[in-house]
Amino acid sequence: MAEKPHINLIFIGHVDNGKSTTVGRLLYDTGALAEQDYRKIKAEAEAQGKGTFAFAYVMDNLKEERERGVTIDVAYKKFTGQKNQFTIIDAPGHKDFIKNMIKGTSQADAAVLVVSAKTGPDIAGTQPQTREHAFLTQVMGVKQLIVAINQMDTINYDEKKYNGMKDAMKKMLTGMGFKDEQVQYVPISAWEGENVAKSSGKMAWYKGSTLVQVLDTLKQPESGVDKPLRFPIEDVYNITGVGVVPTGKIVTGTMKPGDKVILMPSGKQAEVKSVEAHHEKLEKAVPGDNVGVNLRGVEKKDIAKGDVIGHVNNPPTVSKEFTAQIVVLNHPTAIPVHYTPVFHIHTAQVSCRFEEIQKKIDPKTGSVIEENPKFLKTGDAAVVKIVPLKPLVVEEFKKFPQLGRFAIRDMGNTVAAGIVLSVTPREAPAK
């Protein structure tokens, strides 16, 4: 029996719209959350006088979150549909936690945007985070979106109100550049369990699928197994009796013992002695595998976190400069030309300079608002030219999505996020 297609799914949306409850209900109703675990969680929620938060507790397993009743870090849970298997990345809705959401979105194949049916049509006005999360998802290159219109019980499962909400969302998302065929809508009540995994007919007017059935229509992205090898280094160990072992996750291509590889940006070459995952030797590692690789011909000092390993005949691209599309999430003042924050791209963290702000674009339509603006501020989307201050592997988003998305951090905040449109490579690798 072949493995079911695997999809990384992120749940996004404004705080208090029932994201965590939706996820908890989904896990419970698909059997991924055992009855005794649910009872334990429910008892704990009730003991704290928060009975209605029972499902949310499933995802919010950090103690601090339970006490505050909000989601902070990104949590991972697995469940299986009829067709697909899923890893859920539950992203925080609170504005302070947007950096975690970016961390989550950069790993997601599809997103579920949870909005509350009782919000009414003025979503952009009353719920800026719904807008921001949706736009980020678009900028970070997530192409499949499901809008779960939740809390239908609070509007008595009213068809007219649902349609009004759906139209408002449609208008907002089309304005951001989502195409109609990329977005699906589904009415649910996570709290009552209506139309999440099963339906008890409270919305007789609704002829569509349950949330789980809609999730089963999602497509697994191409595995990237046929692409050139790209292996960003997360850590490097020197293991006595074994040698140098870099670890990380293979994002594209395959790697096996005997392969001749090159480490970029240094240009050092090595041979793969063995590949291990969870203490088992692999004949061949494929995209998605978290591995440790024993290399012959290099020393620990030759390798650092943020380096990327590829095959000698197709080395990862070291960038002299690159053009990117970004969105400014929050910056206290303004971002001028020559601004030099830290870029977090794959496993690397490198200071980069804004060489040019080429154009400011309308996040709603993508059309150009202003050529060569002097600065950018919160909410702006733009095309910029970036120069890394030290050698950095960067790839075009359309070729290697995982190496072409980044977050920009400064003063402890995520100020912007974006994707790489084109790269000017450095002439010769530095020895």
Residue 50 domain flag: yes
Sorting pLDDT into bands at 50, 70 and 90, what band is 75?
very low
Domain of residue 376: give its range: 319-425
Do 26 and 162 lie in a common domain? yes
Q: How far apart are CA 184 and CA 190, in angstroms?
A: 17
CATH code: domain of residue 307? 2.40.30.10
In this prediction, what percent of the chain has a pLDDT beyond 70? Answer: 83
Q: How far apart are CA 324 and CA 408, in angstroms?
A: 12
Nearest C-alpha neighbor of 279 from the set 239, 230, 232: 239
Q: What is the mean pLDDT of residues 212-239?
A: 90
Residue 197 domain flag: yes
Q: What is the mean pLDDT of residues 290-315?
A: 94
Do 22 and 102 lie in a common domain? yes
Sorting pLDDT into bands at 50, 70 and 90, what band is 268?
very high
Do 353 and 372 lie in a common domain? yes
User: Taking the CA atoms of the chain, what radius of gyration do you get in angstroms?
Assistant: 23
Sorting pLDDT into bands at 50, 70 and 90, what band is 86?
confident
Nearest C-alpha neighbor of 325 from the set 390, 405, 395: 405
Which of the two residues, 54 and 315, has the higher pLDDT score?
315
Are 139 and 417 spatial neighbours (Cβ–Cβ below 8 Å)? yes
Residue 403 domain flag: yes
Do 71 and 183 lie in a common domain? yes
Two structure tokens written together for 236: 């490097």
Do 128 and 176 lie in a common domain? yes
Nearest C-alpha neighbor of 59 from the set 44, 47, 68, 72: 72
Do 301 and 353 lie in a common domain? no
Q: How far apart are CA 316 and CA 231, in angstroms?
A: 9
Sorting pLDDT into bands at 50, 70 and 90, what band is 104?
low
**Counting every residue, how long is the chain?**
431
CATH code: domain of residue 98? 3.40.50.300
pLDDT at 228 > cutoff 90: yes
Instruction: Assign 207 to helix, strand or coil.
Output: coil
Residue 399 domain flag: yes
Query: Picking from 12-26, 88-102, 351-365, which range would have the lowest pLDDT averaged per residue?
Result: 88-102
Do 206 and 288 lie in a common domain? no
Query: Picking from 121-125, 347-351, 392-396, 403-407, which range would have the lowest pLDDT averaged per residue?
Result: 121-125
Which of the two residues, 100 and 215, has the higher pLDDT score?
215
How many domains are contained in the chain? Answer: 3
Do 60 and 206 lie in a common domain? yes
Q: How far apart are CA 317 and CA 264, in angstroms?
A: 8
| pLDDT score for 70 | 46
Q: Is the pTM of this model over 0.85?
A: no
Starting at the edge strand found earlier in the chain, the sheet holding 183-187 runs: 75-80, 85-90, 6-12, 110-116, 145-150, 183-187
pLDDT at 428 > cutoff 80: no
Last residue of a domain, one of 311, 346, 366: 311
Do 247 and 371 lie in a common domain? no
pLDDT at 39 > cutoff 70: yes
Do 261 and 190 lie in a common domain? no
Are 291 and 399 spatial neighbours (Cβ–Cβ below 8 Å)? no
Query: Picking from 218-222, 229-233, 396-400, which range would have the lowest pLDDT averaged per residue?
Result: 218-222
Are 141 and 405 spatial neighbours (Cβ–Cβ below 8 Å)? yes
CA 382 to chain centre: 20
Burial class, 369, CB count within 10 angstroms (exposed 0-12 / middle 13-18 / buried 19+): middle
First to last CA, the chain: 48
Instruction: Assign 140 to helix, strand or coil.
Output: coil
| pLDDT score for 122 | 66
Nearest C-alpha neighbor of 345 from the set 367, 365, 318: 318
Amino acid identity of 396?
E
Do 201 and 61 lie in a common domain? yes
Do 67 and 209 lie in a common domain? yes
